[in-house]
Chains A and B, each alone.
Chain A
Amino acid sequence: MKGIKHLFGIAGMSREQINYLIDLGDSFTEVNRRSIKKAPTLRGKTIINLFFENSTRTRTSFEIAGKRLSGDVINISASTSATSKGETLLDTARTLAAMQPHVLVIRHSLAGTCEFLAEHLENCAIVNAGDGAHEHPTQILTDLLTLKQPWGSPEGKVITMVGDIAHSRVARSHLLAAKIMGYQMRIVAPKTLLPSQVERYGCEVFHDFDEALPGSDAIYMLRVQTERLTDNCCFPSIREYHEAYGLNMKRLKSAGSDCLVMHPGPMNRGVEITSDVADSVQSRVLAQVDMGVAVRMAVLAALCGGGDEA
């Protein structure tokens, strides 16, 4: 794809590039609906999923995406890799790169891992599948593809994101995408869960969830990592968190019947979201998973130069 060698993050992407990947992903949804889910796009291409952090849906969707496009997909998790035997991150990556894959899909708890490795690896595209609290670009592409069907364009829409913004890569990538794509982000959290000067992204900041609800076109709930809350004094208890920032049916109603509910998963039912909301007709949580495969097909295809004949 024009101008993209790697996919590190939303930062630096243009509206055209984002739309291209979303539209390409949209075209792949048809493949996923077939009884024989196979296209030849990535035939002869090797994709390595190198995951240093636990992941179910992201890793699986990259794997399925590669396989449905006939690529050869290898999964390596931190526990099976040589890093557990003392090898450095760089040596692990260099070793894998020496096996000549076309794409390395990397998730790591350290922000900036992809940029760091790209400096030292040649002839292989790198996809960021989440680096620390920095970026998670394929999640945002997934969300925008999910919203394409109900909204057409996200321009002018309001997405209200609730929860642990401080530690969220999804939040940062969305805040960047909002500026590029022209939608408005509302951020809802106590100050203990907000990163410094977050308003400089151009978002609105709320501490009171109820104030942020009216006018929201989508409510995007983030997962609460319970250990993070209590160990670091970000919140006194799950109970009070749920009372202040949990999305329940009453709150969803005050946002309106057209308001969509999203969550990057995995959900903590009864904590940040109640079951009736998660399972409601307004919920797009499973649609996000569905679109996640299509978008990752698009990303892999684009980076392997095979998107245009899909």
Chain B
Amino acid sequence: MLLIKNGRVVDPANDLDLITDLWVADGHIAALGADLHKQADQVIDASGFIVCPGLIDMHVHLREPGEEWKEDIESGSRAAVAGGVTSICCMPNTGPHIDHAGIARQIIERSRQVGLCHVHPIGAVSKNLEGKTLTEMRELSRHGCVAFSDDGMPIWHAGVMRKALEYAASFDFLIIQHAEEQMLTKGGAMNEGWISTQLGVTGMPSEGEDSMIARDIMLAKRADARYHVAHISTEGGVELVRQARAKGLKVTTEAAPHHFALTEEAVLGYNADAKMSPPLRTEADRLAVINGLRDGTIEVIATDHAPHHDDDKQCGLSCAAFGIVGLETLLPLALELERSGVLTLSALIATMTCNPARLLKLNSGTLSVGAEADICIFDPKETWLLDRNKLFSKGKNTPWHGKTMTGRVTHTLKAGAVVFSHGVLHA
């Protein structure tokens, strides 16, 4: 029996936030409470630390199969548990795509061999991500896909999107949209505005995101579908989701840390490590995302972890690939929301545990007695210097290289086993 002693246990699913002991046996949460007079074989002293459910990141690109030089299931899993993440949802834009059950099975099987964290595939909405014909969503769901998305490739055709939402709604599946009207964003490398003008770089206007969110909300309303906006980045988009939710629609969204931590100014100097899609936006957009998190419009924080090889990044801003790695910086960046008073610690942890679990119908994201013991323990105060070369991910594309992070994962447990502690993996 493993004892996690004297930590501040925060389990938003059970509305729990107190300093106590947590007991783990046979891979599951056995008991909660001090002075239980049980015999512990192993003790983790969590004094001064936070003990919470292992984090869930519902938006990750693992690149396997197909682009293993950027990342693979093993390196991605390592990065995850180093960041306190015990469940990741991987997007289907692999090669081949996750558009048939065999690939989903292969990813799950490989992740079990690696054994560090749970990997839940997200199935493609359309075959080959072409936005033309639907995938066998029922079959993909039976084989482990927890939601459906053509992430990276927006579903542009309104007729196809309508049918996708209707088909998914028939079986209560979640559709996740990368909302981008590519007729407006074509050729863009960053947000369209004063910075892009000065840099002489083609911009991606916020209307590219807003217009597709608006259209999708209309279609989701007609279909009575569960519709989730991936990585929301604009003031207008947040407001559209807020209004939809006020009307009772099943519309949800997520924010990536970079969209509440950075603005388009990070691109100055032609910084390709600040290039992602949707792009970093203005300060007004950043504050709108924070407000969305504050009032619950945005229920989930997810990284859009997008590892790339240096070859794809060090080729000039306009040619560089979109995306940054995120798993290992998720927690310290998210904790800034608590430090600045935007969210309570419990509400913040909910965005990375029970909230995504509810959307994806996962039974993880909680420390309920009997639940599988996926646990993240972190020191909220420890400061550390981020060194891109020390990332566990194969992708080194981060805008925070050389920056000081506050808050550090000390232990990550998967099914009761310590898979990561104090900077070291145990696989």
Contact = CB atoms under 8 A, between A and B. Distances in A.
B223 A191 contact: yes
B133 A230 contact: yes
B134 A235 contact: yes
Contacts, number: 47
B170 A190 contact: yes
A244 B134 CA distance: 15
Nearest to B165: A191
Interface in A203-249: 207, 230, 232-237, 239-240, 243-244
A79 to B, nearest CB: 31
Contact of B163 (A234, A239, A243, A244): A234
Interface in A181-198: 190-192
B30 to A, nearest CB: 38
Contacts of A237: 136
B170 A191 contact: yes
Given A207-B171, A233-B133, A236-B133, A243 B139 contact: yes
Contacts of B400: none
Nearest to A243: B138
Contacts of A191: 166-167, 169-170, 223-224
A234 B139 CA distance: 16
Interface in A267-287: none
A233 B169 CA distance: 14
Contact of A192 (B132, B135, B166): B166
A249 B160 CA distance: 33
B138 A192 contact: no
Contacts of B135: 236
B137 A236 contact: yes
Contacts of B167: 190-192, 233-236
A236 B133 CA distance: 6
Given A191-B223, A192-B170, A240 B138 contact: yes
Interface residues of A, number: 15
A243 B171 CA distance: 13
Contacts of B229: none
B159 A233 contact: yes
Q: Which of B127, B159, B170, B224 has the most CB of A within 10 A?
A: B170
B164 interface: yes
Given A192-B163, A233-B163, A234-B163, A240 B136 contact: yes
A244 B224 CA distance: 20
Contact of A190 (B132, B139, B159, B166): B166
B218 to A, nearest CB: 14
A139 to B, nearest CB: 27
A232 B163 CA distance: 8
Contacts of A239: 136
Contacts of B169: 191
A233 B164 contact: yes
Given A233-B159, A233-B160, A233-B164, A240 B170 contact: no
A233 B150 CA distance: 15
Interface of B: 127, 132-139, 159-160, 163-164, 166-167, 169-171, 223-224
26 contacts: A190-B167, A190-B170, A190-B171, A191-B166, A191-B167, A191-B223, A191-B224, A192-B163, A192-B166, A192-B170, A230-B133, A232-B163, A233-B134, A233-B159, A235-B167, A236-B127, A236-B133, A236-B134, A236-B135, A236-B136, A236-B137, A236-B167, A239-B136, A240-B139, A243-B138, A244-B138
Interface of A: 190-192, 207, 230, 232-237, 239-240, 243-244
For the complex of A and B, list the 8 residue pairs with the smallest distance between their C-beta atoms, beginning with the closest.
A191-B166, A233-B163, A190-B170, A207-B170, A236-B134, A240-B136, A236-B136, A192-B166
Given A191-B169, A240-B137, A243-B139, 5 more contacts: A192-B166, A232-B159, A234-B163, A236-B135, A239-B136
